[in-house]
Amino acid sequence: MSSAQTFSDLDPNKHKHVSVKSNPGFLERLGETAGGTVLGIGLFFLSIYILFTNEGRALQTASSLDEGLSQVVSLESFSSLNQQNNNHLVHLSAKLRTSQSLYDPNYRVEVQAVKLQRQVEMYQWVEYHDSKDYQENGETKTETTYTYNTEWKSELINSRNFDKEIGHQNPSAMAVESVTVVAPEVRVGAFILSKGLVEQINDFQTLSLKDFPASYVDPFLSIDDDYFYHTQSPRRPEVGDVRVRFSYAGLSGETSILGPTQTVSVVAMQRGEQLMPFKTRSGDTLEILYQEELSAKEVFEKEHQSNSLKTWGLRAAGWALMFLSIQLTMRIIYTLVDWVPVLRDLVSVGLKIFAICISCSLSLLTIGAGWLFYRPLMAVALGALALLPLFLARSGLPAKKNE
C-alpha cells in the first residue's frame, strides 16, 4: 500500500510531496522484470528494422544523387524559358520574387518575403518538479519538490494539471494565435517554385521594431525589444499578458531596408514554367533548395553530406535501442541476485559489458545484411568484423586450458 503527505514551505511557490510505498516482494519484482523483458523484445526488433532499412535508404539516396548529378542541366539563362529542358532535371541560382507583400492587419506589419511568421507568447505559471527516493523503516519514500515560476511561453500551459493549482492559475486560451503566412506564388527567375521547394525556405529572421513608426502602433500596445506587448508595462508583466514577435524568411522585394533579396539555388524538374519534383530511376525524388548561391556540383555534395549525417545518426540510434533492449531482456538475471550486494554489483557490470558486446556485433551484422543486396563484398567484410570478438574469445580458451 502507499500513502501520501503534502506539506508547504514558507515560499508559496514551492512545496514538497512525499509518497510512501512498501518495498516490493520477490515475486512482484519478477513481474515487473517480465514486463521489461517484453518491452526489450519489442525494442530489439525495432532496432533491427531501423538498422536494416537505414542502409537501404542510404544507398538508394546516394544512388539517386549520383544519378541526378549525371543528368542535371545548369541553366545559363533563367529569365526566359527553354522548352527543350521540359521534364529534365535543371539547376539554377537566382533571386526570389513574389508579386505582393505579406501583411498582418492586426499589427500593421508588412514585409515582402516568402513567409511572415507571427509568434505569440503568454506570461504563465510553469511547474517544475524534482524527485528523489530514499529508504526508511523498510519502505521506499519518494520526495518530490514542486516549484512554480512565471515565464513567457509560446504554448498554452494547463494549470489544472499542476500539483497545486491554487495561486498558480493560467488563462484557458490565448487572446492572439501564432500563424505563418506564405506568399501564394514564389518565383525564381522565370520559374514558379513548387510547394515542396517553398517549404524549404525556413531561415527565419526576427523583424526589428526599432524603426517601426510609432503612429502605427495601437494605443493598447507597447513595443519593447522587438516585441509588441498587450500591456502598458512590458517590464512588469502579469500572468495572462501577451507579447508578439514577427519573423520573416526569403526576402523577395526589389528594395528593402531589411536587406538584399534572397538568392537561392534550386535543383528540380522543369515542366513549363513550373519547377517540380524529379523522380529518379533509383526510386528517390529530387526537389532541392539551398538559400545560397551554389553550383550544381556543390548542391549535390551538400546532399551527400546530409545523407551521410542522417545515416550515421540512425545507425547510432539503432545501436542504442539494441543495447537498451538487451539490457531490459537480461534484467531478470539481475533481479534473481539483487538480494546479494556483492553478487548484484558483479552481475550488473557483467550484464552491461555483455549488452555492449552483443549489441555491437548484432548491429554490425544487421548493417551488413542491409548492404548485402547492394554491396555484397562490403557486407562480407562487415560480417567478418562482427564475428571478430567471438573468434578472439575462442582463441583464448585453449591457452587457459593448457595453463
Share of the chain above pLDDT 70, in %: 76
263 contacts: CB under 8 Å, gap ≥ 6: 93, 94, 95, 96, 291, 292, 293
Q: Which helix (H) or strand (E) holds 148?
A: strand 139-153
- Mean of the pLDDT values across residues 328-353? 64
pLDDT tens per residue across span 299-327: 999 999 999 999 999 999 999 999 888 88
Residue-level pLDDT at 305: 97
- Mean of the pLDDT values across residues 139-167? 88
Residue-level pLDDT at 376: 72
Higher pLDDT, 356 or 304: 304
Per DSSP, 280 falls in state -
**CA dihedral sign of residues 395, 396, 401, 403:** positive
Strand partners of residue 89? 269
- Mean of the pLDDT values across residues 31-50? 80
pLDDT-derived band of residue 335, with 50, 70 and 90 as boundaries?
low
- Mean of the pLDDT values across residues 36-40? 79
Q: How far apart are CA 403 and CA 386, in angstroms?
A: 29
pLDDT tens per residue across span 62-73: 999 999 999 999
pLDDT-derived band of residue 29, with 50, 70 and 90 as boundaries?
low
pLDDT-derived band of residue 339, with 50, 70 and 90 as boundaries?
low
Least confident of 135-139, 211-215, 296-300: 211-215
Q: Mean pLDDT of all residues in the chain?
A: 82
2 pLDDT above the threshold of 50: no
pLDDT-derived band of residue 373, with 50, 70 and 90 as boundaries?
low
12 pLDDT above the threshold of 80: no
27 pLDDT above the threshold of 60: no
168 pLDDT above the threshold of 60: yes
Asked whether 1 and 140 are in contact (CB, 8 A), the reply is no
389 pLDDT above the threshold of 80: no
Q: How far apart are CA 353 and CA 372, in angstroms?
A: 29
Higher pLDDT, 350 or 29: 350
pLDDT-derived band of residue 26, with 50, 70 and 90 as boundaries?
very low
